[in-house]
Every structure is written in C-alpha cells, then in structure tokens.
Structure 1
Amino acid sequence: MKQTQTYKDRKEAFVSNLSGGNILEINAVTLVAPAAVLLWSALQSRKSFFAPYTPASLIADFLLNVAAILFATTLYSSIPVLLNILLISPAILILLGPKRNQPTQKAKPPTGKDAKAATNDLDAVPIRPFLTTYRGAMMVATCMAILAVDFRVFPRRFAKVENWGTSLMDLGVGSFVFSGGLVSARSILKERSSSSVAGSLPKRLLTSARHAIPLFVLGLIRLYSVKGLDYAEHVTEYGVHWNFFFTLALLAPFVEIFHSLTTIIPSYELLSLMVAIGYQVALESTDLKRYIFLSPRGPSLLSKNREGVFSLLGYLAIFLAGRATGLRVMPRETSSSKTPYQARKSLLIRLAIWSVIWIVLFAFNSLHVFGFGASIPVSRRLANMPYVLWVTAFNNSQLFLFCLLETLFFPSVYKATDKASEEERGNFATSRIMRAFNKNGLAIFLISNLFTGTVNMGMNTIDADKGTSMAVLVAYAALLTGVALAMDKWNLKLRL
C-alpha cells in the first residue's frame, strides 16, 4: 500500500531534482533590473521625480526597483522581454522630451590653489552610485526569490538545480558571494591610499575570525531552527548540517590567506583562476566528483556535508574574482594628467573588456564553440569552474550596464570637485530603496529568511493559487522594503 506523502515531503520534492533553464532566458529576466534603473534614471534626470521624495516617489521607486524584479520572476516569467519593453519604452519617451538641467553645486567651483585643495579633499575611494544600485538590485532579487521559490507562480526552472544546469537562483547565490568580494576591496584600497602597513597574516586571520563568529552563530541558529521545527530542507544543496551562513563564515579566513599570496602573485584574477582550475582538475582527475554526487551519507561530518565543504573552493574563487573587480572599479583614478571624464571612460572600457574576457572564458569552458571548448556543464552543487566563470561574467556585465547608465544620466556625479557636492549628486543619482537594501545587505538577507520561514510555517505555499501567491509576495516585498527604509532612515546598521 502506497504511503501518503506528508506536506514536508511534498515541499522537499517541490525544490528537488530540478534541471534549471536556459542562460538566455535568465539574462532576459535579470535585464529587468537595468531596464528599471533606466526608467528610474530617466524620470530622475529629466523630471527630478524622486527629489523631493514624496509618497508618489516612494510608490514609483518600489514598483520599479522591487516589484518589477518580483514580477519578472513570477507573472512575467514566461515573457520577460515584454516586461523589458514596458520599462524601456516610457524611458525612451521621456528622453525624447525636453531636457531638464541637473542640480548644480551650491558653491562655485574652486579655482587655482583652491581647486587643488578641493580635489585633494575628495576621497580616493568614493561612494559610487552605480555600485550601490548594482548591490541593491542583487539583494532585492535574492530576497524576492527565497520566498517566491516556495510558490508555484515561481517557475521550477528558476529554482536551484540538483546536479547540472543553470538557474536564476543558482546565479543569485554566486552573485551574493561575488558582491561580498567586490565590497571587500574597499578596505584594501583605503589601506593603500593611507600608505599604512598591512597587518601580519596571524593578525588578519584573527580579525577575520572575529567577523566569522557571528556568521557561524547565524548558521547554528538556522541549523537548529530547521531541525527543531521539522522544516522542509533540501539536503543535497549543501549537506545535512551545512548552510550558506557557514560558507560565508569560512570564506573570511581563506580570503586572508590568499591575500597574503598577493606579495607573490599580485593579480586577484589570477588567484581566482588558480583556485577554480585546481579544483576543476581535482574533480576531473580524481573520484571527488563521484564522491560528492553519489557516495552514501557516511557517519562522518565530511560525508554528511560534502557539498558545502567542497563547494567552498568554488565560492572562494568567486569571492576573489569579486575583489579583483572591486579593485578595478572603486578607485577614483583622477590626477593632474587624467580628467574625471577620462577616468570614467577608462573605467567603462575596463569593465567592458573584462566582461568580454570572462564571457569568452566561460564559453570555451562550458560550451563547444567553433569546434573548441571543454563542454563542461555548470554545477552550482559543485561550484565548479564553469559556475565560477558564469557568475563572474554575469556580474561584470551587470556592473558595466549600471556604470553606463550612471555615466549617461548623471555625469555630474563623477565631475564633482568636493565631498559635499559629490555626496549631494550621488544621493540624487541613487534610488533610496536601492541604497537601503545595499546599506544593510546582510541584515536584510537575515530578516528576509525570518519572514520566509514565518510564511512557510503559517500557510500552504505550494497549493496557493496565483492570486493568493502574488498577494503574499507583494506584501512581503513591501514589508521588507519598509524595514530596509526604516533602518536606513534611523541609520541602523548591523555589523557582522
């Protein structure tokens, strides 16, 4: 007699044994974020629609930068191109209309010796609006997906793949790590600009361990919550006990070890590729791949959590690639021989070139192009080399698009001559919602996990109809956005 499946069994089956979808479709869905920023930028630069920030501005900001991403993965999941057209078309109409001058500096631009002093007063590592927008959009997409995946309105091809293939959520996990690597470059650049001596490796390891402890605690809380509440879990994602917080915690000390190697190998790109290639060689030339995929769960912790342990190498390569990108895009780079315009042009060219480089590396590693290529499939479960290259290529391309939009719509940002005007122009060019999600990214991610658990414990998500599903998801998106905005307004920041 066939045993009736419990709701927990159905939930686990709902997110298991999936094969993912097409990269071109994933690109079309993720293009919604830059398309929404295009419309936001057109409204702001031509109409000053979000300054001052009225209730109407808040609603429009939410619809463009949060709801559009949610709709792209749900209601418009089968027709993302249409949603892109709906966002881009009004932006074009606005751009064809009369141009409105952007706000000017309150003070007159300094000249002579004053100009030199003002230029020196600018931070060597400025706050770049396009980076805030990029990280904000990534956080919004991540937070929307972790709850939406529990509803049928979210296509199964967007959920995490079991073994081989590409999916939207697989890309999101890697992008979260890449983004962390990117912002980690700020501390290195500030260290260089102040000409301070870097701490010894033991000292840096101790500092990284202090940062890792809160993440380990969060990982333990999630572990005991899942086990204690008998919550549905996907064991082959990371293992029996492992979760993403443990991965984030362990990255910190390993990154510091590789940072010490930059005295010998000064390129983070090269370090990233060395880790990815070494790991891929081990997967292909030993029984490691078979062990991760097929070996029974033994009594040891390694056997029970082998996916999380070994995929750490792939995520380390992604983090290092993110740091490499951060070291390229964060510095100001203006000087007596290079104007702000030349520095921005150089930045765009570098981003475009590196985007192409990573795309080509991915294509020849994962595909069969013009009779060449390794044809190694992507695996998020392994975090293998094709996965590392895919995530890195995608994020560099996204950064290029956001940087291009900022350059076209808000050129006054990178032409500022003092801190006050730079901050003013930067705020004008940045969505308040994007800034809020970026400012407290990890805290918002944690809160979104709590909200997701609450919803799943309180209702049957997999049997909810489309109307109920969207009502819950929109309410969740609004509530999470409200929390992010409140934390930003009250200057609350959770430091981990």
Structure 2
Amino acid sequence: MSSNATTPSYKQLKEEFVSNLSGGPVSEIAHVCAVAPVVALLWSVLQARQSFFKPYTILGFSVDFLLNVGALLLSVTLYSSAPLLLNVLLLTAAAFVYALPPNVSSRKRKPKPKLPPNAQSKTAAASGPLGVLSIKPFLTHYRGNMLIVTCICILAVDFRLFPRRFAKVETWGTSLMDMGVGSFVFSAGVVAARPVLKERAENRTTPLAYRLLTSMRHSLPLLALGIVRLLSVKGLDYAEHVTEYGVHWNFFFTLGFLPPFVALFQSALKVIPSYAGLALLLGVLYQLVLESTDLKAYILASPRTDLLSMNREGIFSFIGYLAIFLSGQDTGMMVLPRSLNPRSTSSAGAQRTTLLLTMAVWSFVWTALYYFCSDYTYGAGLTVSRRLANLPYMLWVVASNSVLLSAFCLVDTIFFPAFYNAQEARAEKEAYDTATSRILRAYNRNGLAIFLLANLLTGLVNMTVPTLDVGRAATMGILVAYMAILTATAVGLDVYNISIKL
C-alpha cells in the first residue's frame, strides 16, 4: 500500500517531464532556427541551377521531404547538440551542387503549341495585369518552415530524445518551443496585413462594427477548437502543464481572441500611424505595469481561487501576444505589397534590393531593442518570460523572426529574380511556383487545418505509446511516420485543390 502511495502515476511523470525547465542559450536557439534558411538555400541551388524539382517527380518529392522536413527534424533530435555542424553539412552540399555545371537543357523553352481561340481567351484572362499585393516566395518558405517545426516539436517534446532545454521554460528563460509559440503568432500577424493593404489600395475605410463582425467570424472556429481541446484534455485525463496557460486556457483561445482585439486597435492607428509603434507602446506599458504593481506576483504566485486566477497566465500573456501579432502585421505591411513605394519608377531589381535592405534595417532595430532591454551591463537587464509574454519575450520573438525573414528574402533575391521581374500575372505565378517548394506551399495553403491534425495525432500517440520509455530509433521512426502523414495530407489536399478555411 505504501509503495503505491509514493510511486507517481505515469500522468504525473509526464507532467514532471515538461515542468520546471529553464531553457537554453539564445545563441543555440538561433543556430537551430538558422537550419531553415540554410535548407532554403540548398533547395534553391538545386532548383535554380539544376531545375531539380521541375517537373515534380517522386524523386523530387522525396528530396523535398528530406530537406524541408527531414533536416528540421534532425535539428531538434539527432543533431540537437550540434546544429552548427548540420548547417555546415547543408552549406557544403549547396556549394557542391552550385559547383556542378548548370542544367542548361531544362532552361531552353520549348515552343508552345498553338491554342484554340477559346483557350487563348482564357489564357489572356489569366495573364492579366499584376495586382497590388503579391505572395512572395520567401514568405511561403518562412511560414511553411515555421509550421513544420511547430508540428515536429509538439510531438517530439514528449520523447526523451528531444532536449529538455528546447521545451517550454517554467517561468524565466528562452527555449526553442517558446520561440515557436511566438513565431506562430507573429506569422499570423504578417498574413493579417493583407486585408488592411487591400482596403488602403481601394481607398476605403471599413466601419469598426463591420471589422469586429468580420473578426468574430475568424475567431469563432478557433475558440471552438479551444473548447474542444479543453473538454478532451479534461475528459481523457490527459497530462497537462497548468502553469503554461492556466487551468482552462490553451493556445487556441489566445489565437481566437486576437482578431477582435486587432480590429479594435486598428482605430488607434489614427493616433499612432504604425503597427510597430503600437506594438512597442503596448509592450512597454504592459512591462511597466508588471514592474510597478503586484501584477507579476499575482500571475506567478497567487492561489487559483476563481476563473481569473485559474487562467491568469493565458489571460495576461495575451497582451504580449497581441503586441507580437501587431509587430507581425507591421512586417506584413512591408513585405506583402509588390513595391515599398508604389509610385516609384525604379526597376524591379532596385525595388527588390530596397525591400531586402529595409528588412535588414528593421531586423537590426528589433535586435538592438531586444539587446538593450535584456542586457545586464548596457541595458535594462530584464529576463525573457514566455509565461508572462513580457517585453523582452516580445522583442526576442520579433527580432528573431525579422532576421529569419530577411535571410529567406536574401536567398530569393539571389536565386529567383524572375519572380520580381515578372510583368504580368501568369508569368509571376509560374515564377512563384518555380521558386517555392511544393511541400511548403501545401503547408501554407491549409496551415491551421494541418496544425489541428498535428494536435490530434500528438494526442493519439500520447494515448497509445508510453513516450517516456521509447528508445532513439523508435522515436525517430514515430516522428518520421507522423511527419510523413502530415505532409502527405497537406500535399494531397493541394493536389486536389482543396482549401480548408478555419
């Protein structure tokens, strides 16, 4: 009887496995994150020099999967202690491919067969003028990689092969998964700039009531997913980490409440005409309240007596996530338009370079702000806390994502200038398809649906496999199979032209 009383249950062991962690150094997280743009470089060399993925064959899909999924999986498992070595190996492969003679035969354009009159009219319609906004290849690669790493980590974290320093920290510190959560929100903010830019291009203003109504349409499915996750976690007695978001709150609730608050904050742009300025103001005010009142102590240490105190981490960290989302929206206002200055008469090459330099400058600004916020010698000496989503956390996430986006943009600028030089819609679409991975396009197309499937499969694996007792080889087998299912689903939906809007 006494031994049973002292032996912790498997559920308790699982909860302890992801609790009281302190993370790892920012530099190591940066090395792991760097794998994604380095993979994009290798993929781009294969495509630009050898036309390896055109046409897209079974071999092309296999190499696409090995690079854009396999390399990222290795970076957080077998190569987690040596991410720099993995980067060097990938760069060496890229240099080797670049040194090979280019595949000239594939670049020679075959004469196009003459189309019948009705087909010619359809083609002419498809070859219309370029729109105000464009889907940049580097944005597809950035978002696709972010989704893939997120999907890998939410299951890998339950296995011993995944380093504990990469799992979410308890209160203070930095980790890869803390970066992943913030990156998901930042990425959503980038895309959210699209309707705002369309509105500005059409020179119209949407009333606040209509904006709120539209935002609620986006919120309801996410809030419904949050409720389903809450009920399933409680009903199945699933292991949960209460100090992450609280007793009832989860990440779907954070995502779900963002659209209406962003719609409200859009009205503030009349006073502060910049999303970045708005994000900084919100982050700084939140940090001042944390430091000058009892709020920080309340979030970290108060007893859980009512609904607010039970979910205080999720409710108050929402302020920080809102600031991250607004920062992402500011970045979206910069990268989504076809040109930073629509009235500019400069060449496409000059505009491409201007975008890259502007992104590099903003990356430097955000990185400098993070440095002065967190450095003990020359700055404020504040410590990152994902649990609070405080100012240093917000600046760290935004700076890291800005640098990553700039790195992807640099790869684009070097290898695929044809996309930026396109003069009509069809040529741009062809150039975009050439410059982007089919797998990453597929993840982008149904990102939220694939993320939901990843959550369901993660729950299924945890309910059927004792993940704490699984060895290295079996862990890798499970993770590869899991990612293969997600990737096959994403590509299958794309092949059948299915978009699941949540």
Length-normalised TM-score, structure 1: 0.95
Instruction: Say whether 1:309 aligns with 2:315.
Output: yes
Give the one of 37, 54, 79 matched to 1:51: 54
Aligned-residue Cα RMSD (Å) equals 1.7
Instruction: Say whether 1:479 aligns with 2:485.
Output: yes
* Partner Cα distance (1:100, 1:275) in 2: 52
Contact 1:119–1:417 (Cα < 8 Å) also in 2: no
Q: Which residue of 2 aligns with 1:343?
A: 351
* Partner Cα distance (2:499, 2:232) in 1: 25
Q: Which residue of 2 aligns with 1:114?
A: none
- The one-letter amino acid of 1:374's match is A
For the residue of structure 1 that corresponds to 2:408, the secondary structure is helix
Shift of 1:189: 1.0
* Partner Cα distance (1:257, 1:331) in 2: 23
Give the one of 210, 213, 216 matched to 1:209: 216
Shift of 1:118: 11
* Partner Cα distance (1:42, 1:69) in 2: 18
For the residue of structure 2 that corresponds to 1:91, the secondary structure is helix
Residues 460-479 of structure 1: CA deviation (Å, up to 9, x unaligned): 00110111111100110111
* Partner Cα distance (2:64, 2:433) in 1: 14
Residues 386-420 of structure 1: CA deviation (Å, up to 9, x unaligned): 00000000110010000000111111110011111
* Partner Cα distance (2:336, 2:213) in 1: 26
Residues 238-295 of structure 1: CA deviation (Å, up to 9, x unaligned): 0000000000111111101111111221111100001100100000000000000011
Q: Which residue of 1 aligns with 2:277?
A: 270
Instruction: Say whether 1:419 aligns with 2:403.
Output: no
- The one-letter amino acid of 2:174's match is T
* Partner Cα distance (2:497, 2:127) in 1: 28
* Partner Cα distance (1:424, 1:446) in 2: 30
Length-normalised TM-score, structure 2: 0.94
For the residue of structure 2 that corresponds to 1:328, the secondary structure is helix
Q: Which residue of 1 aligns with 2:14?
A: 11
Give the one of 463, 469, 491 matched to 1:463: 469
Contact 1:352–1:397 (Cα < 8 Å) also in 2: yes
Shift of 1:96: 2.2
* Partner Cα distance (1:226, 1:103) in 2: 54
Contact 1:45–1:100 (Cα < 8 Å) also in 2: no
Contact 1:105–1:421 (Cα < 8 Å) also in 2: no
Shift of 1:98: 2.3
* Partner Cα distance (1:219, 1:105) in 2: 51
Shift of 1:97: 2.6
For the residue of structure 2 that corresponds to 1:10, the secondary structure is helix
Residues 6-59 of structure 1: CA deviation (Å, up to 9, x unaligned): 000000000000000011111111111111111111110111110111111111
For the residue of structure 2 that corresponds to 1:121, the secondary structure is coil
* Partner Cα distance (1:318, 1:106) in 2: 48
* Partner Cα distance (1:159, 1:103) in 2: 45
Instruction: Say whether 1:122 aligns with 2:122.
Output: no
* Partner Cα distance (2:25, 2:344) in 1: 48
Instruction: Say whether 1:288 aligns with 2:295.
Output: yes
Contact 2:127–2:426 (Cα < 8 Å) also in 1: no
* Partner Cα distance (1:118, 1:147) in 2: 42
* Partner Cα distance (1:128, 1:443) in 2: 22
Residues 129-164 of structure 1: CA deviation (Å, up to 9, x unaligned): 110000000000000000000000000000000000
* Partner Cα distance (2:191, 2:108) in 1: 29
Measured at CA, do residues 29 and 305 of structure 1 come closer, stay the same or move farther in structure 2, by a change above 3 Å? same
**5+ unaligned residues in a row in structure 2: which ranges?**
113-124
Shift of 1:212: 0.9
Residues 212-231 of structure 1: CA deviation (Å, up to 9, x unaligned): 11111100000000000000
Q: Which residue of 2 aligns with 1:429?
A: 435
For the residue of structure 2 that corresponds to 1:413, the secondary structure is helix
* Partner Cα distance (1:492, 1:303) in 2: 42
Q: Which residue of 1 aligns with 2:83?
A: 80
For the residue of structure 1 that corresponds to 2:500, the secondary structure is coil
Contact 1:118–1:417 (Cα < 8 Å) also in 2: no
- The one-letter amino acid of 2:191's match is V
Contact 2:128–2:425 (Cα < 8 Å) also in 1: no
Measured at CA, do residues 328 and 293 of structure 1 come closer, stay the same or move farther in structure 2, by a change above 3 Å? same
Give the one of 62, 66, 70 matched to 1:63: 66
Corresponding residue pairs, total: 484
- Name the stretch that deviates more: 154-163 or 209-218: 209-218
Contact 2:250–2:314 (Cα < 8 Å) also in 1: yes
1:91-490 equivalences in 2 (<5 Å):
91-100=94-103, 103=107, 121-195=129-203, 197-298=204-305, 300-333=306-339, 337-368=345-376, 371-490=377-496
- The one-letter amino acid of 2:248's match is H
- The one-letter amino acid of 1:148's match is A
Q: Which residue of 2 aligns with 1:113?
A: none
Question: Share of identical aligned residues, percent?
Answer: 56
Contact 1:118–1:418 (Cα < 8 Å) also in 2: no
* Partner Cα distance (1:198, 1:216) in 2: 28
* Partner Cα distance (1:286, 1:104) in 2: 68
Q: Where has structure 1 moved over 3 Å in runs of 4 or more?
A: 99-108, 117-120
Shift of 1:335: 5.1
* Partner Cα distance (1:157, 1:104) in 2: 50
- The one-letter amino acid of 2:475's match is S
**5+ unaligned residues in a row in structure 1: which ranges?**
109-116
Contact 2:127–2:427 (Cα < 8 Å) also in 1: no
